[in-house]
Amino acid sequence: MKIRPLHDRVVIRRKEEEEKTAGGILLPGSAKEKPNEGEVVAVGIGRVLDNGEVRPVDVKVGDKVVFGKYAGSDTIEIDGQELVILSESDIKAVITG
Tens digit of pLDDT per residue, the chain (97 long)? 688 889 989 999 988 765 665 566 665 655 556 778 999 999 999 998 999 899 999 999 999 999 987 776 778 888 888 899 999 999 999 999 7
* pTM recorded for the entire structure: 0.77
Q: Which residues contact 83 (CB under 8 A, 6 or more apart)?
A: 3, 11, 12, 13, 14, 41, 75, 76, 77
CA 38-84-37 angle, 5° bins: 20
How many angstroms separate the CA atoms of 89 and 28, rounded? Answer: 32
88 in Cβ contact with 59 (< 8 Å): yes
- Diameter of the chain by CA atoms? 55
